[in-house]
Amino acid sequence: MSTNFHSKEHQILTTLRQVLSDVVRDTTPKPGRPNALKPQTVDNLKLAFQLITSREKEIIEDAGGNMDKRPRYADEPKTSHVVQFQKPEDKE
């Protein structure tokens, strides 16, 4: 996770999202087991994630950034290539 926060609010939201993600992972039952959380609680968690993401997006866009950045492995091939074009010389 990036530690490049745009404000204290952004840092708080990011930390809150990480903590909620950990809680969801820890309470998700194995296949075939009953869920410990009520359906309303699951819906509220989804809403909380949506609100956090929405506010994070606003903060980043207000700071002049965008949400298009995605993590890459260091050895992952680049998907874009820079091609150098040379203008052909006029032959007269």
Task: Grade residue 21 by pLDDT with cuts at 50, 70 and 90.
Answer: very high
By C-alpha distance, which of 57, 27, 33 is closest to 45? 27
d(CA 53, CA 76): 27
pTM (two decimals): 0.63
Contact criterion met (CB below 8 Å) for 37 and 43:
no
The pLDDT tens digits for 33-44 are 988 889 999 999
The pLDDT tens digits for 66-88 are 767 677 778 877 777 777 777 77
In this predicted model, which residue has the larger pLDDT, 15 or 77? 15
DSSP secondary structure string for all residues of 45-71: HHHHHHHHHHHHHHHHHHTT--S----
